[in-house]
Structure 1
Amino acid sequence: MARASAYDGIADWYEQEFLGGPTARATDGNPLALGGVLGELLGEGEGAACLEIGCGTGIHATRLRELGWEPVGVDLSGGMLRHARGRLPVARADAARLPVADGSLPAVVAVMVHTDMPGYPAVLREAARVLRPGGVFVHIGVHPCFCGGFADRSDAEAVVIRPGYRDAGWTRESWSDQGLRDKVGAGHLPLPGLLHGFLDAGLTLERIAEHGTPTPIVLALRARKAG
């Protein structure tokens, strides 16, 4: 994951300026707005627990509760968790070493965080480990084909893709100095590397969605652990 200290150093900026303050919600106009993708892929929870990996400041907890889930979160950054504690129960932990028993959860989500985790395939294996048979994992992340240091999104109507998409690895390159990536860096996996991570973890892909126009910003996937 991106160094915890990187997010610790910007946690207040992230909460107040990037998200819009403690009353902000992940709805239209918010940088983490996802349309209906989370509900479409996760479905209703009927009071069951849902673990959010890399929960950050907990901005998605309200939506998870609206869907009927009881969210709990883990994150490596103490600074981010300082803001999250008012939104959901949390624990400080590495996403690749979750403090959760094998086969104990019906649902796990990772929302807009996989680029913070250079070892994301290991995180997918952990998600599979803690899911009960038949449990669901929802990944929502920046679209690997259209977002990254190789993508110039300064003109939303004409995104320019330059060489670099095929190069997996960590970078601080960004088309903007007003967002996150120039501050904390980002990991990139080309689409095959991301999808193989699911397959290698033993997760079966069920649904796929894109979000954002005219060029998608978000790629979302629902996968299930074999029952």
Structure 2
Amino acid sequence: MEQTRAGAAAGRAAYDGIADWYEHEFLTAQRAAGDPLGIRTALAGLLGPGRGPCLEVGCGTGEYAAQLRGLGWTPVGADLSAGMLQHARDRLPAVRADAARLPFRDGSLPAVTAVMAHTDMPRYPDVLREVARVLAPGGVFVHVGVHPCFCGGFADRTDPAAVVIRPGYLDGHWTMESWSSQGLRDKVGASHWPLPELLHGVLAAGLTLDRFAEGGSPVPTMLAFRARRPA
């Protein structure tokens, strides 16, 4: 995953310290639950079948590499955390890199994804500009992330049937406040962009939005969208 502010202050990627826990405990629990947030459904529906390299920005341990291969793509990854990449090396070729400075040529990739990673990237608007730079004309970018309207330090999801939204959504901030001790935010923090700011970042990068998806119930937990570099 990308470097959070906590990690930057410590001079290393924040996920380095929790990489083993993430792989062996967090992901194990996620896999056992199936796809309750619709992450894999959204990725398949928005990206679709294809050929050629597909870069996963903030690839972490490479959890989605097999799904990309199943769609016909050749997955490659980029992540700042050496600890996470230790677990990814058997799943996909990956490079240790800042997502805001991707080591790929202009217009060289037909597809890029960012799956449950944007809140780990305090400079996500810069990442979006890099995505637009490396995409080939007509190339597709798929973003799958936590829903900015219903997930964040301002949202208490203790009771999933009655999510409590407190003041703070409009602020845009980085926080380690969390309603749960079983997730990631209380360990590495998370950045938040209100929905208009997130979508404006896509448009400012020169990408064209064309499809959207939500997942999770009864209140959406995941928001996904597809954008393209104009041909």
Per the normalisation by structure 1, the TM-score is 0.94
Q: Check if 1:36 corresponds to 2:44.
A: no
Secondary structure, counterpart of 1:74 in structure 2:
strand
Q: Check if 1:8 corresponds to 2:16.
A: yes
Per-residue CA distance 1:37-62 (angstroms, 9 max, x = gap): 1010001013x110000000000001
Q: 2:139 maps to which residue? A: 135
Q: Check if 1:86 corresponds to 2:90.
A: yes
Distance 1:193 1:220 in 2: 15
Q: Check if 1:75 corresponds to 2:75.
A: no
From the two aligned structures, give the one with the greater helix fraction.
2
Match runs of 1:169-208 below 5 Å: 169-208=173-212
Distance 1:93 1:43 in 2: 26
Greater relative CO, 1 or 2 (CA 8 Å, sep 6+): 2
5+ long unaligned stretches in structure 1 = none
Per-residue CA distance 1:42-100 (angstroms, 9 max, x = gap): 01013x11000000000000111111110000000000000000100000000000000
8 Å CA contact 1:109–1:139 kept in 2: the answer is yes
User: Which 4+ runs in 1 deviate beyond 6 A?
Assistant: none
8 Å CA contact 2:37–2:221 kept in 1: the answer is no
8 Å CA contact 2:38–2:215 kept in 1: the answer is no
Match runs of 1:58-137 below 5 Å: 58-137=62-141
5+ long unaligned stretches in structure 2 = none
Q: 1:144 maps to which residue? A: 148
Deviation at 1:28, TM superposition (A): 4.6
Q: 2:227 maps to which residue? A: 223
Distance 1:94 1:223, change over 3 A: same
8 Å CA contact 2:209–2:225 kept in 1: the answer is yes
Distance 1:85 1:62 in 2: 13
Instruction: Give the paired residue count.
Output: 223
Distance 1:20 1:58 in 2: 14
Q: Percent identity?
A: 69
Amino acid paired to 1:176: S
Per-residue CA distance 1:83-135 (angstroms, 9 max, x = gap): 00010000000000000000000000000000000110000000000000000
Q: Check if 1:214 corresponds to 2:218.
A: yes
- Kindly report the root-mean-square deviation, in angstroms, between the aligned alpha carbons of the 2 structures: 1.6
8 Å CA contact 1:19–1:31 kept in 2: the answer is no
Deviation at 1:151, TM superposition (A): 0.4
Per the normalisation by structure 2, the TM-score is 0.93
Secondary structure, counterpart of 1:36 in structure 2:
helix
Deviation at 1:6, TM superposition (A): 1.8
Secondary structure, counterpart of 1:79 in structure 2:
helix
8 Å CA contact 2:108–2:136 kept in 1: the answer is yes
